[in-house]
Amino acid sequence: MIDRHAARRLLQLLTVLCPLLLAACPQWASADEDAAALERNVKAAFIYKFAAYVEWPSTAFADAESPIVIGVAGDDAMAAEVARITASRQIGGRPFTVRQVGDADSLNGLHILFVARADSARLGQFVKVLQSRPTLVVTDGDGARAHGSAINFLMVDGRVRFNIANDEAEKRGIKLSSRLLSVAQNVQGAAQ
C-alpha cells in the first residue's frame, strides 16, 4: 500500500514536472510531441477507415454521392489530421467532409462524431442531443462506454486498439461489419 501511495505521488510529481521538463529540454519535448502526433495520426487513420466497415441507414445520406461527414469535438489538431487524411479520398463513391464540433447544435448530419479525451465531459450532452440519429460515436478514453459511445480507443502494449459497443451502434441504426468486430479488442453487445 505504501508503494502504491508513493507511486501515485511520484506520478503527480511527474505530471506537474513534465511540462517544465519539456519546456526545459526541447529534445524531450520534441520526442513527446512526436509520439502524440503519431498516436493522433493512427487514430485519425482509424476514424477514416471505420467508414469502410460501417453501414449507415440509407436515410443518413441525401443521395448516392453525399459526403460522409465527420465531426471532431475537442481536438483541433485531430480535426486537421482527419481532414488531411480524408482529403481527396472516397469510400464507396462518397467524399469526406470534416468539421470541428463546438457545441451540441452543430451535430446535425454527422456520420461519425469523434469526441476527444479533452472534451469527454461534453460527451453525455452530445449523446443526449444525438438521441437515435445515425451517428457513429467514437471516443478516446476509459469510461466513455457508459456515455453511449460505439467505438472507444485505448492503448494496448503501446498500440492503438479499440473496444466496440455494438449495441450502441445498433441503437442508432448503424451496422458494424463483423470483420471490424473481429479486430476489436473487446466487443460488447450482440453482433448481428
Write out the residues near other proteins by the rule CB under 8 A. 42, 46, 48-49, 51-53, 89, 91-92, 159-162, 177, 179-180, 182-183
Quote the least distance from Cβ 46 to other proteins, whole Å: 6
114 in Cβ contact with 73 (< 8 Å) = yes
Nearer to other proteins, 50 or 126 (CB): 50
Look up residue 88 and give its three cell numbers.
481527396
Quote the least distance from Cβ 68 to other proteins, whole Å: 11
Quote the least distance from Cβ 166 to other proteins, whole Å: 15
Percent helix, strand, coil in the chain, to 5, is: 50, 25, 25
DSSP 61: -
Quote the least distance from Cβ 154 to other proteins, whole Å: 13
Nearer to other proteins, 49 or 128 (CB): 49
Q: DSSP letter string over 8-21?
A: HHHHHHHHHHHHHH
Nearer to other proteins, 12 or 182 (CB): 182
Report how far residue 93's alpha carbon sits from residue 150's, in angstroms, rounded to the nearest whole number. Answer: 24
Q: Which of 35, 40, 41 is nearest to 18 (CA)?
A: 35
Nearer to other proteins, 46 or 114 (CB): 46
